[in-house]
Structure 1
């Protein structure tokens, strides 16, 4: 990559106009977050998690998949080691996501960049990376506009799901649990470049299904995640 075409930070446009642009871009994903967050909050209190512990968990961990896994593993006595292990394995995808953003943040001091990455969930990463690749520059305002809107929506919706509890009924009857995957599939479609990049997702899915069939339970999630991550590393090495 030539120096003129190298990834860079956006130097013009202003922070707040870009922040507003990020807020607008996040609206469809925010709509998908709400029913999914309500569902997680309701399931959490049903498993015995405290109402105010739910937004604390979602606010500090901020990883939808690992939070659902933790809630489904919640029991008395609490399997602390299993929950920590599953959470770390599911969230290990953030290592690859951070590596993908690293070239765009090379002008940012490492300490500052690490603080910024607190807001990096799958959707914030996908929207921001797609925007940076399209514009050939990373917009900090856009990233924070998307990130803070999605963060607030997720934490708020999980709290209200926990607070309302049984009053909101079983949202899965209406297919609301598919809203989140549907939104993410649309985002992935916009990032599609090469059929080889779909291989890690296919491997992760097949391995996860196989493990679930052989050993029903939450282990299908981390095992599928690791299989997908290893495949992604091999694909990246081969492409490079």
Structure 2
């Protein structure tokens, strides 16, 4: 059954046709998401996560950058297990904080929908399908099921890749020998190119890059990712803060 909600410019809908349209549009990215999931599965196996643990992490956290950063922290943990758990939880929270902004950006599309379809859609939201959805909305699309269809398609690819990668981890014990450890960098770079608006974004990019380089010299790659994200976000917030009284 279709769900409809009013929007000032055009009516928002939530239909099966929109869901299928989103799922089809996501196929162009699903292969990359699958390989990305394989890379995480290999890393998860390498740091000692079981198939169930890796699968649950992918199903519940569903964030490649956060999961790889957490896996990196796991791989470098020492004797303080409790400290490691709190550090990993903090890593995931910080890395996934961007979804607050993603959700806010989708509010014109999802904000007037009933709670169940809106929150179910947000659960399956990922970087790739968020970018697809924003482009679809900018092009005039108003069927919000597009977001759910594209997100669920990528979620299935991610989970399948994780399971395959963790299972194959015994055969390929070192992902870096195949260059699979570069997938996080490649995926983030592709996202950055797609979201780059112009010279105004360079300050945040420079701050994140400089922070990552410095932190990577004294800590693991996972912490460099977290620090770079925080530095870039703070710089962007300062750069684009509205003037007083606006």
- Take 2:190 and 2:72, find their aligned partners in 1: how far apart are those partners? 27
Q: TM-score, normalised by structure 1?
A: 0.83
- Confirm whether residue 216 of structure 1 aligns to residue 219 of structure 2: yes
Unaligned runs of 5+ in 2: 1-5
Pair 1:224–1:189, CA change in 2 (3 A): closer
Q: Hey, what's the Cα distance between the residues in 2 that align with 1:187 and 1:221? A: 15
The 1:127–1:140 alpha-carbon spacing in structure 2 relative to 1, beyond 3 Å, is same
Return the offset for 1:54.
Answer: 0.6
Residue aligning to 2:36? 36
* Alignment RMSD (CA, Å): 2.8
TM-score, structure 2 normalization: 0.81
1:45 is matched with 45
Aligned pairs for 1:63-212 within 5 A: 63-74=63-74, 75=77, 78=81, 79-110=84-115, 112-135=117-140, 137-168=141-172, 170-179=174-183, 181-182=185-186, 185-186=189-190, 188-212=192-216
CA distance in 2, matches of 1:174, 1:129: 33
Relative distance call for 1:168 and 1:6 in structure 2 (3 A) is: farther
Q: Deviations over 1:182-236 (max 9, x none)?
A: 45544554444443245433322222222223x2223222221112222232344
Unaligned runs of 5+ in 1: none
Q: Which residue of 1 aligns with 2:3?
A: none
Q: Distance in 1 between matches of 2:191 and 2:12?
A: 22
Instruction: Give the match for residue 57 of structure 2.
Output: 57
* Shift in alpha-carbon separation, 1:183–1:82, aligned structure 2, 3 A: closer
- Runs (4+) off by over 6 Å: none
Q: Do the aligned partners of residues 25 and 140 (structure 1) sit closer, same or farther apart at CA in structure 2, a change above 3 Å counting?
A: same
Q: Provide closer, same or farther for how the CA distance between residues 183 and 90 of structure 1 changes in structure 2, counting only shifts above 3 A.
A: closer
